Structure 1
Amino acid sequence: MNLIKKVGFLLVSAALVATSSVAQNVQRTPQGIKYVTQGMDVSVEFYSPTIVRVYKTPMQTSCNKESLVIIKTPETTPVTFGENGKNVTLSSGAVRVEVNTETGGIHFFDKSGKRMLTDKDYGTQFTPFDDAGVPAFNVRQAFLLDKDEVIYGLGQQQTGKVNQRNQKLFLRNQNMSICIPFIHSVKGYALYVDNYSPTTFLDNPQEMSFDSEVGDCADYYFIYGGNADGVIAGVRDLTGQAPLYPLWTLGFWQCRERYKSPDELCEVVDRYRDLKVPLDGIIQDWQYWGCDSNWNSMKFQNPRYINKMGDPEYMKYLPNGEDKNARYGTPRIKSPKEMIDYVHKQNAHIMISVWASFGPWTEMYQKMDSLKALLHFDTWPPNAGVRPFDPFNPVARNIYWAEMKKNIFDLGMDAWWLDSTEPDHLNVKDQDFNTPTYLGSFRRVHNAFPLMSNKGVYEHQRAVTTDKRVFLLTRSSFLGQQRYASHSWSGDVVSDWSVMRKQIAAGLNYSLCGIPYWNTDLGGFFAWKYNNTVDNVAYHELHTRWYQWGAFQPIMRSHNSGPVAVEIYQFGKKGDWAYDALEKYTHLRYRLLPYVYSTSWEVTDKAGSFIRPLMMDFPEDKKVLDMDTEYMFGRNFLVRPVTDSLYTWQDKEQNGHLKDMSKVGKTDVYLPQGARWFDFWTGQALEGGQTIQREVPIDIMPIYVRAGSILPWGPAVQYSTEKKWDNLTVRIYPGADAEFTLYEDEFDNYNYEKGAYTTITMKWDDKERILTIADRQGSYKGMLKNRKFNFVVVEPGKGCGDEDTMAFDKSVSYRGKKVVVKL
């Protein structure tokens, strides 16, 4: 169709809609409609066959919004227009939308006609609001859900609830709470309200609503997926895909608040290597810069780090209250560069803490202040005059990275811990939110602060090099942050059994927002309940159970606040129950690395998920819809963390005591309907749809593998790349057909984006007991051209648990061409 005919067609179509008796004020657009109702201008537009944007503004107001979250532009989508009674209809073939132009109601249906969601009649409200001298609105948007509909999402909350129905939550990012105005329904759709101001979420029998403190428009996206995986694929399509982390990030990380010198940090790496306990990452937490007035100078100015103890010019930077004589003398490691190089020589990697705020002594404080890019309210640490910077300002982001690069990255630093990206806000006052940012008041953009903080670091490092993948650990988050290689953890949670259990629900809801990487401080951060000492035997039990769970989190990282030190050797020695259990699960994590790395590739390539609430794989099983104790790790492992104390107790003085450990405790495990399950530790097969009592001695966390699974079992190593995967054991769990794709690449650069990787797909025909290994796809420099696969069909006593040696059913040499194995 030429341009003249196309324009004429659109004009005629618009005229036909405008003359309809139903839609007098409706104007048709290429992929939607515009109309006026209830004093609002409304636009309904298909972004794709499964994504619909609804955009509302008060009449006669202009709002040229540029979203911080949405990166997708509307793709060409054929739309069919029509009428249904008093409603105007729009259909893409996958989603039908019905609009009542009199009441403002908007109804979303799937292609079969099943109602998904209703934008409530008269449910949008704009209330004039003075936003720090700028005319704006409080924006309220209300919806109707089915009575028994289960919804998830809203980020990461500390309520312990999986189902987010029937509650009121104030969505404003803070330590331990990641707040996203996003819900994911068990019916197979999601709703994202594109507003970054503090927002009150309310759900009751009358309605579900999002009431945002400030905005110029009501702007939301309906995302239809049909199932949870489809929803998450839609979220990633809309907000960005998650890049691949380097392999070494998926090993074990050790951290403490804090290592106080390069010697102390390097000695930890040495101890792990001497003990033959695997380790890939070590983290330098805060105050390497010195005192609080010099907060986050992005320089190593603490005299312990630059061999300047005793030098008056540098002693002023020594952190407040720190013993000036501790570890005094000639250090083994004399500079930050030597520290980083030493870690690398030990085949480990190092991350460093960088904050989103600056102390008044720092050059960065002065630079940001002159740019008017400081947010003037109290942040951590208290009473030090520290102020957050404005990450919404592109020049401020440039300055921020330039200082990081010059003083830290160029020394060889591997990864970044972007702490306090809410940011911390002390002594909160209403007027604090009037603080101006580059994009308006702080109130207007508050919840997007972590998104923009991570954006600045990710984009700048990507621009500098493609040889080192970006890895960001950050305490807060917002929708879309996955595209910046951002990994969040659940914040500074207290070491307590009930708190540990709440983290499961927090992680499940966060994952269902479509952001794949998340973990917790293993053992909790604040060990107040245990007198802040690792010597408390009751803490040993809690830490052991939390640590076991960590082996099945996307990133495995042990961390606690001072004075608690949680390195493995703080829990005794070989033969001691806590030490042995910690060592066992560290080794287990490394044996699972081929599985974990391949799952990571699925996250990147197919919008997959590491943490999979059971509703993702068993939506028809009503018992799992509100399950807050279990989840799938990837598509094969059912994980049930032990969240109760079974072997220790505490007295009123908080001293820990052992119970009788010969009496083995038990915990409930629900095995979902629709599958058979193999006990990972014993190989026993059990039918789904039942709750069992699993014995859980201190070194056993319940782990089950779904029948119809193929699991690669990696070599025993001390760090992730110590040995090639040229002699892999492959465990087959029979009872159903199975498929698994083994992914490999160069492990730490972006060549995979150019196609430099390989995949090997294995398929199990359960009826014929035949395993087919397909032709290897792809190539990369240094890839394995020849290898050996050793196959084990799991049964009781064979191919179970963490055993290192086993009788193979068959071994084959593989040279990249199809192999068929009868087992």
Structure 2
Amino acid sequence: MKCIHPSLVKAGCAAVGFLLFSFSVFAGDFTRTSDGLIVHPDAPFSGGATDVQLKVIADNIIRVIAVADKKMQPDTSLVVLKQTPAAKWTVTNTKATVSLKTARLTAVVSLQTGAVQFFDAAGKKILAEKEVGRQLQPQVFEGKRLYSVRQDFATSSDDALYGLGQHQDAVMNYKGSQVLLWQNNTEVAVPFLLSKKNYGILWDNASVTQFGDVRPYQQLNALKLYSKDGDQGWLTATYSNDKSKPADAVLQKAESGINMEFLGDSKLILPAAFKPENGVVTWEGSIASEWNGVHKFRFTYGGYAKLWIDGKLLFDRWRQSWNPGSVVTEVALAKGEKHSFKLEWIPSGGESYLTAKFLPPQTEEERNSYSFASEAGKALDYYFIYGQNMDDVIAGYRKLTGKATLLPKWTFGFWQSRERYKTQKEIMDVVEEFRKRRIPLDNIVEDWSYWKQAEWGSQEFDEERFPNAESMIQALHNQYHAHFMISVWPKFYEGIPNYTDFNNKGWLYKRNIADRQRDWIAQGYISTFYDPFNPAAQKGFWDLLNKKLYTKGVDAWWMDASEPDILSNVSPQKRKEQMVGLYNGPAAAYLNAYPMQNAKGIYEGQRGTNPNTRVFILTRSAFAGQQRYAAATWSGDIASRWHDMKDQIAAGTNFSMSGSPYWTMDIGGFAVERRYERPNEEDLEEWRELNTRWFQFGTFVPLFRAHGQFPYREIFNIAPETHPAYQSMLYYNKLRYRLLPYIYSLAGAAYHNDGTLMRGLVMDFPKDTAVNNINDQYLFGPSLLINPVINYKQLSREVYLPKGAGWFDLYNGTFVSGGNRINADATYERMPVYVKAGSILPFGPELQYTSEKPAEEITLYVYSGADGSFNLYEDEGTNYNYEKGAFAVIPMKYNEAGKTLTIGERKGSFNGMLQQRRFNIVWVTKDNKAGIDVPHGAVDSVTYSGKTLTIKMK
């Protein structure tokens, strides 16, 4: 071990005794660089790192890179844009540490281990790498040397953790949880963590990654198992071929594990005598643990699954068998005590999926730490972002990864979709029915298989079913004032001309072809996906879409299966094999970034072809940075069940807190149980109520869209217009359009101020610890507290009103103090929504589509009880002139002490801007219960021409 070279800035060398070695170990040295410093720690103490580099990106952002081989520096990031550091910093050192200090942040690095600690400007610790908490282990992928990388962090007991993309376990706060970052249908991997303590970590790695409690889940047989007769070592598995008679056994056997996780597993494991299309399996007995405390059990399931422990039903789930779901349940077990266990599974035929695994209780140290652990990379590479609040941290994330482009205004209206409109006539008939019934609509969506059956990837309409697609789109635009979005997969059938062209240019993954793997269409067709990591293939794919579809007038792109889902339900290892030949290098290092690269090519292609029209992309998967490519994400092929609806609350909110502001879901769920396809009277009413409650919820997410398998999801196909389901959905559809001034202003703030539309309660109420784990409420913008109704026949629900604010019922204006749990009314027709005191909520006119008429008259509901403000944002709605300053903001402020509303001077302008409009002010106070559903008496009306107006409450 050498002391520092004289040519470098001097750092002390200290001898440190270490019990495992017979010789003294000295602290490392460091080197100043133009943008930070490099520490050269002792590799035996640094997890294999020879260099730990800190780069100052901004006064609140520091990049940390650890390398095991100085010749293997990180590649140019796919995620982070080129940065021009502007911050000032200083470097100081002691014998044991070196510190890098900016105006807002100090990073202190151990010279011996390279471990980094982060402190705020006042010297308070924010977060620390564990002193012995880094690992870089050599790996080989596709013949190339890489490293698996892991970094452990120590945090505090009062931390709470969010973001990380979209996951379906109904977990809001990920502290103490395990999260797998791997793209899959309904699971979205975004390696950005957002903390309640106002920091974030952007983990710049696109390989399969584990976050949080990264201990491997154990098989059930790691517990003590007992059969239903008391024999130790197994559970009793009963197989019946009649799902209505679980005890009518065709086979009973001892089993000690349940692990049918991936495609093909069940065919190897299930007994030949068992018929999964009609059968049921029950595992019974007892379990016992050697640990006291809360155990986490994680199940994946296709079909129906029920779990009882100690006779208590812990879950009752269903998911379509071809797209398994997951559930995590926590169970307190007493050391050495037997707990009865019963798991019942109806697999629903075909490929079958079921797993049962667990994690033992965490120690206190484990509860207050977390890790990022990635399979492949050249280096360990992350960005630490500190902010004044959580919004400021997200702004730092977007500084690194790009602005969230402003979507076309029409995308904030209502979209109707179906799996699928099979003909041109079906599309036109549906849109005509919307207009005839005066149900607002902005976008009609064509799902997959509009091509000829054997020509997936042709990007051509089947002319027998769509005789003139171009004229259809023109009629949608000109006659019905509707937009047209189309599903485009990155998939090509073997042998079609586009396949041959892409194959000859080396743009396709070939393993699925070599495997002769057939898809699920008719007799099955052999196919593969293109490689969007290849710039030439990106351009070629856009050129294909442009020639075949965009020139016909298509308005937006639905990028389905963008995980990439070359073959569903395969293991990560299989996915990597399918992507061998990836342009950038080994698939293991890049596979999670596929959806971003796919969106990039479409976005850049359309902007290059038509720079005057905003791009819009809807994608089933996403990665860090994708917001800069006009990409929104939906939650995939979820099921039409109440628990799936609830799961979307945490899924969508955490996705939004991952830095991408535009999220949506299939209102009503995608896949349905058989009982809804030919329903009896009771099932029909449940179907209608489920869709109604989901529609109410869907009104208050960034993008408002209905989609799903049969039964059809149009309002008029769900219920007759006299039914409360129809009436409620029509009410909320119209409400969405009246709220467009509010919603589009939130969208404007998402671009100009790095705002977030769908907000975890912790973002606005960080001091209220009661909100940390709430997974069934969220804020839509700064003003609206959204509380979806998530149970059948539920006519009230518990609502927590965060402390630090008063709250008004949106519908009747009733005031309730914050810090209270209330039992809120939830009639069939209404979902509880509360407005924060101090809010200014603008309502526009009723519309049939977003561009029907300008908002010449806006009603401002002003909610007293606290000071408040709102910026009304407007621009041209469909082009990119807002990037050049063509937009206007009308600032509004409410002063509680003076009971005055000030509508400030308009800032900015754009073509077509209203020069004058009417503002109607409705004052909502504790005494004046002015709700949107009840008469609110006198209204103050003012004419606004761009100059400041002050209106005093009377």
CA offset at residue 405 of structure 1? 0.6
- Counting only pairs closer than 5 Å after superposition, residues 717-732 of structure 1 correspond to structure 2 as 717-732=847-862
Distance 1:170 1:773, change over 3 A: closer
Q: State how far apart, in whole Å, the 1-side matches of 2:869 and 2:5 are.
A: 53
Matched, 1:426 2:568: yes
1:577 is matched by which residue type in structure 2?
P
- Counting only pairs closer than 5 Å after superposition, residues 588-607 of structure 1 correspond to structure 2 as 588-607=735-754
The one of 194, 198, 209 aligned to 1:188: 198
Query: What does residue 53 of structure 2 align with?
Result: 43
Query: What does residue 16 of structure 1 align with?
Result: 9
Matched, 1:454 2:599: yes
Q: State how far apart, in whole Å, the 1-side matches of 2:576 and 2:909 are.
A: 53
Distance 1:476 1:772, change over 3 A: same
Q: State how far apart, in whole Å, the 2-side matches of 1:135 and 1:30 are.
A: 29
CA offset at residue 85 of structure 1? 6.0
Matched, 1:540 2:674: no
CA contact (8 A) 1:682 1:797 kept: no
The one of 379, 391, 394 aligned to 1:229: 391
CA offset at residue 19 of structure 1? 6.0
CA contact (8 A) 1:31 1:78 kept: no
Q: State how far apart, in whole Å, the 1-side matches of 2:738 and 2:114 are.
A: 56
Query: What does residue 769 of structure 2 align with?
Result: 622
CA offset at residue 64 of structure 1? 4.8
Q: State how far apart, in whole Å, the 1-side matches of 2:678 and 2:759 are.
A: 34
- Counting only pairs closer than 5 Å after superposition, residues 322-337 of structure 1 correspond to structure 2 as 335-337=468-470
- Counting only pairs closer than 5 Å after superposition, residues 341-740 of structure 1 correspond to structure 2 as 341-344=474-477, 345-375=479-509, 376-377=511-512, 381=520, 383-424=524-565, 425-426=567-568, 428=570, 430=573, 432-434=575-577, 435-528=580-673, 530-532=675-677, 536-561=684-709, 563-646=710-793, 665-740=795-870
Q: State how far apart, in whole Å, the 2-side matches of 1:415 and 1:221 are.
A: 33
CA contact (8 A) 1:23 1:88 kept: no
2:445 is matched by which residue type in structure 1?
I
CA contact (8 A) 2:74 2:379 kept: no
Q: State how far apart, in whole Å, the 2-side matches of 1:670 and 1:286 are.
A: 42
More displaced stretch, 277-286 vs 571-580: 571-580
Q: State how far apart, in whole Å, the 2-side matches of 1:186 and 1:799 are.
A: 35
Q: State how far apart, in whole Å, the 2-side matches of 1:552 and 1:268 are.
A: 24
More displaced stretch, 130-139 vs 253-262: 130-139
Over residues 674-699 of structure 1, what are the superposed CA-to-partner deviations in whole Å (9 max), with x where a residue is unaligned?
A: 00000001101110000000111111
Matched, 1:790 2:923: no
2:851 is matched by which residue type in structure 1?
T
SS in 2 for 1:152: strand
CA contact (8 A) 2:9 2:31 kept: no
CA offset at residue 135 of structure 1? 1.6
CA contact (8 A) 1:591 1:714 kept: yes
Over residues 483-505 of structure 1, what are the superposed CA-to-partner deviations in whole Å (9 max), with x where a residue is unaligned?
A: 01100011100011111111111
CA contact (8 A) 1:798 1:807 kept: no
1:769 is matched by which residue type in structure 2?
K
Structure 2 unmatched runs, 5+: 15-25, 44-48, 214-361
Q: Percent identity?
A: 39
SS in 2 for 1:16: coil
Distance 1:705 1:431, change over 3 A: closer
CA offset at residue 603 of structure 1? 0.5
CA offset at residue 42 of structure 1? 1.6
RMSD: 2.0
Over residues 106-143 of structure 1, what are the superposed CA-to-partner deviations in whole Å (9 max), with x where a residue is unaligned?
A: 11111122211112223222222120111222222222
Distance 1:68 1:277, change over 3 A: same
Query: What does residue 238 of structure 1 align with?
Result: 400
CA offset at residue 60 of structure 1? 4.2
Task: Give the TM-score of the pair, scaled to structure 1.
Answer: 0.90
Over residues 387-428 of structure 1, what are the superposed CA-to-partner deviations in whole Å (9 max), with x where a residue is unaligned?
A: 111010011011100010111111111111011100113363
Q: State how far apart, in whole Å, the 2-side matches of 1:60 and 1:731 are.
A: 61
Q: State how far apart, in whole Å, the 2-side matches of 1:609 and 1:29 are.
A: 36
Distance 1:62 1:498, change over 3 A: same
SS in 2 for 1:237: helix
Over residues 591-626 of structure 1, what are the superposed CA-to-partner deviations in whole Å (9 max), with x where a residue is unaligned?
A: 100000011101010000001100000000010011
CA offset at residue 88 of structure 1? 0.9
1:208 is matched by which residue type in structure 2?
Y
SS in 2 for 1:436: coil
Q: State how far apart, in whole Å, the 1-side matches of 2:860 and 2:642 are.
A: 36
1:400 is matched by which residue type in structure 2?
F
1:779 is matched by which residue type in structure 2?
S
Q: State how far apart, in whole Å, the 1-side matches of 2:381 and 2:197 are.
A: 22
Q: State how far apart, in whole Å, the 1-side matches of 2:703 and 2:688 are.
A: 21
CA contact (8 A) 2:39 2:114 kept: no
The one of 270, 277, 282 aligned to 2:432: 270
Q: State how far apart, in whole Å, the 2-side matches of 1:152 and 1:43 are.
A: 27
CA offset at residue 766 of structure 1? 1.6
SS in 1 for 2:695: helix
Q: State how far apart, in whole Å, the 1-side matches of 2:211 and 2:569 are.
A: 24
Distance 1:580 1:427, change over 3 A: closer
Q: State how far apart, in whole Å, the 2-side matches of 1:770 and 1:149 are.
A: 39
> Matched residue pairs, number?
765
CA offset at residue 798 of structure 1? 5.4
CA offset at residue 63 of structure 1? 2.5
SS in 2 for 1:222: strand
CA contact (8 A) 1:618 1:673 kept: yes
Over residues 66-95 of structure 1, what are the superposed CA-to-partner deviations in whole Å (9 max), with x where a residue is unaligned?
A: 100001414122112113562111110211
Over residues 201-248 of structure 1, what are the superposed CA-to-partner deviations in whole Å (9 max), with x where a residue is unaligned?
A: 242543422221111111111111132111111111111011111111
1:228 is matched by which residue type in structure 2?
M
The one of 208, 218, 239 aligned to 2:380: 218
The one of 101, 109, 121 aligned to 2:119: 109
CA contact (8 A) 2:12 2:96 kept: no
CA contact (8 A) 2:812 2:933 kept: no
Matched, 1:153 2:163: yes
CA offset at residue 17 of structure 1? 3.1
1:358 is matched by which residue type in structure 2?
F
CA contact (8 A) 2:595 2:621 kept: yes
The one of 872, 882, 889 aligned to 1:759: 889
Q: State how far apart, in whole Å, the 1-side matches of 2:69 and 2:747 are.
A: 47
The one of 118, 142, 149 aligned to 1:132: 142
Over residues 758-812 of structure 1, what are the superposed CA-to-partner deviations in whole Å (9 max), with x where a residue is unaligned?
A: 1111111122121111111111112111111111102477541256x75443111
CA contact (8 A) 1:287 1:302 kept: no
Distance 1:629 1:751, change over 3 A: same
Task: Give the TM-score of the pair, scaled to structure 2.
Answer: 0.78
Query: What does residue 324 of structure 1 align with?
Result: none
Structure 1 unmatched runs, 5+: 1-10, 307-334, 648-664
Query: What does residue 319 of structure 1 align with?
Result: none
Distance 1:180 1:389, change over 3 A: same
CA offset at residue 529 of structure 1? 5.6
